[in-house]
Amino acid sequence: QKGYGKYLKLSDLTAGRLSMEALLGLTSKRAGDWFKEELRILKGCDFLMNTIINLCESETDLNDEGQLNKIDRTLRVVENVTFMNEENQKYIITYKSGLFIETCIKLIKFCKNSVITSLDSASFLSTLLSVLRIFTNLTSESASGCLAIGSFSGVFDLLLEMVFELPSFIVPDSRFELLILLLCLCINLVEFCDVIRESFVKRNAMFQRLIDIFIERTNEAQKTEQQADDLLESHENQTLTEAMQDSLLNQVLAKSGKHMEHCIIAACVCLLIGCGIKENRKAMDVVKEQLPEASFDSMVDVLIKLKEFAHLADIMTPSGVKRVEKILAVFTSLNTSSINCENSLLSSDATFDDSSFIKTDDDVL
């Protein structure tokens, strides 16, 4: 009755059910390519997706803890077999003319509402994060994946709604991962979906809400940095025992971790805005007016910090670093002269050839 076994009915065990449990136990992202290929060729991916599609047909099943747990575990296997595997990604995107993607979007909506309304939202949040990780795999460095997911009406608005609404309804420890996944997905969709990007740049109120998040996160980053400095200064002239040194180190590391999280989220907001406005001078002016001191300096500073931190901690893919550099070039040009800005935007270097950003493997998130 411990672990996942508590959801099994011992009186109704079959070879099929045990095989399913064995399959769901394969949760390593680092499974060999041969395994991922065989799972697709032998119709294992079909079985996984059909399981999710069938279980999501009824909200009654979704409200059952055991069924939702099964959906979550199945999603994690799909996440693992799509991780850095282009063939599986293409297969899943086109499966039954997008039925699996459509089901996942419905599941996102259900989990979002359940997280907000449920007193115990842990299982709904876990399932939501699993779907978002799959979508991150499908859209990373994939124009076809972005176009497939972005073609569903309202999906971009749904993601942005969750950016603005969900953090206050979940435990603090989960907020960073949720926001990173949501913002990276939004960045990918804005980059590759013309319709979404064109709609995005016309919504001044949306820019203001994103800028509010950016300002809030940069202020929190400055606050935690100052708290860490004050903590070190307060012990500067004290003789510390080994236990006291360990305690101080843990406190400073905790502050540093929070500082990093605030900075990365602020940088993601910068990149989302940058991807949206990079070819629209009117939108650039609108955003600039809403920024502190009507300047992109604060965004440039955050992106420079992200680039430096990425180099030290290896949290970004090489193509993700290039994206940061290109957005930095756009923002910097906007703070120098309009002529340089226009030249930068018209040059080939100001476009993106991928949608990767922050690594989402086990070493980072």
Q: What is the model's pLDDT at position 263?
A: 93
Q: 230 and 136 in one domain?
A: no
Tokens of 214: 């950016």
152 and 29 housed in the same domain: yes
Angle at 201 between CA 212 and CA 285, to 5 degrees: 70
What CA–CA distance (Å, rounded) separates 143 from 332?
A: 27
- pTM of the prediction? 0.85
Residue 141 sits in the same domain as residue 102: yes
262: left (phi over 0), alpha (psi -120 to 50) or beta: alpha
Does residue 218 share a domain with residue 259?
Answer: yes
For residue 55, being part of any structural domain is answered with: yes
Residue 116 lies inside a defined structural domain of this protein: yes
**What is the DSSP code (8-state) at residue 193?**
-
- Confirm whether 364 is domain-assigned: no
pLDDT digits (tens, 9 = 90+) for 239-251: 888 898 899 899 9
Is 86 domain-assigned? yes
Total domain count, the chain: 2
> Which CATH number do you get for residue 89?
1.25.10.10
pLDDT at 236: 82
Q: What's residue 245's pLDDT?
A: 87
Task: Count the Cβ atoms, other than its own, within 10 Å of residue 78.
Answer: 25
Same structural domain, 184 and 219? no
Q: Which residues of the chain have pLDDT under 70?
A: 1-31, 336-365
As a dihedral over the C-alpha atoms of residue 316, residue 297, residue 279, residue 260, rounded to 10 degrees, the angle is 20
| Residue 359 within a domain | no
Burial 203-232 (b: 16+ CB within 10 A, else e): beebbeebbebbbebbebbeebbebbeeee
Is 354 a member of any domain?
no
DSSP H helical segments within the chain, as ranges? 15-24, 33-41, 44-55, 59-62, 65-82, 86-94, 99-117, 122-139, 143-150, 155-165, 172-192, 194-200, 204-234, 242-277, 281-290, 297-313, 318-334, 338-346
Terminal Cα-to-Cα distance of the chain (whole angstroms): 30
150 in the same domain as 61: yes
DSSP lists the bridge partners of residue 316 as: 358
Instruction: Fill in the DSSP letter of residue 358.
Output: B
Containing structural domain, residue 339 = 204-235+249-343
Considering the domain architecture, whether residues 193 and 46 belong to the same structural domain is answered as: yes
Are 192 and 59 in a shared domain?
Answer: yes
Phi, psi of 14 (to 5 degrees): -135, 170
186 and 210 part of one domain: no
The H or E element that residue 140 is part of is: none
163 and 191 fall within a common domain: yes
**By the 8 A CB rule, do 161 and 207 touch?**
no
| 74: in domain | yes
